[in-house]
Amino acid sequence: MCGRTSLSLNKEQVRCACAYKSRKENVYVKPEWKPEHNNGKDFIPSYNIAPTDITPVLIADNGSNTSNSLVRVLKPMMWGIIPPWHKGDYKGHNVSTNNCRIENIKTSNLYSPILHNGGRCIIIAEGFYEWQTTVKSKTKQPYYIYMPQGDKNETQDTEDKFSEINGWNGVKLIHMAGIYNIWKCEDKVIYSYSIITMESNDTMNWLHHRMPAVLDNDEQINVQKRLGLMLNT
């Protein structure tokens, strides 16, 4: 499971870190940031992001694009899907939606319709926190999980870490598969998401029996992006 994440980058740094290579122009392109909706709340960089906080999420968009190729868009969303049938205070639904088990997603009364309508997204983070459950103890030990970083340059400014030719040379983000929904009630429109979880692999099973569904490469990100187009059109 996943109950806390970290993303300390500002908006422009997030755009740079999420840059992708345009097949048409053969250069790295920064996703557009679309901050509307979410009841007036916006993303605030933090090392301790909790459910109901707002974080940037990658979705697909063809918008006014005439090339028939999909582009990536960063959309701030609330962590924890608001059930479509819920009315009233958006925090008052009393349903745990921080995580969505991949084994049940196609049969869930909540998640299955969202999945069918194409509501797939990619949650980005510098890392996430997991409390060890595989060792019995009175106090659970938290661990911080992040991507291998390689030879990034910590001394460069944001502008120097990104170029259209080479892309981003800063911190490497984790890309987690998720689903999202657009909740509407009276004059409120809120985008919200759940992180898809799966059984832990050999890298993580010493810590916890569940883990986020992490997308390891750009092709997996593109597949998740293409499948998520329908809800956004």
Q: What is the DSSP string of 158-211?
A: HHHHEETTTEE-SPPPEEEEEEEEEEEETTEEEEEEEEEEEE--TTTTTT-SEE
Distance CA 3, CA 48 (A): 10
Spot the catalytic one: 2, 16, 18, 100. 2
Concerning whether 2 is annotated as a catalytic residue, the answer is yes
Residue among 10, 85, 82 nearest 52 (CA): 82
Residue 197 sits at φ, ψ, to 5 deg, of: -120, 160
Please pick, among 16, 100, 126, 130, the residue that the annotation labels catalytic.
130
12 labelled catalytic: no
Active site residue ranges? 2, 130
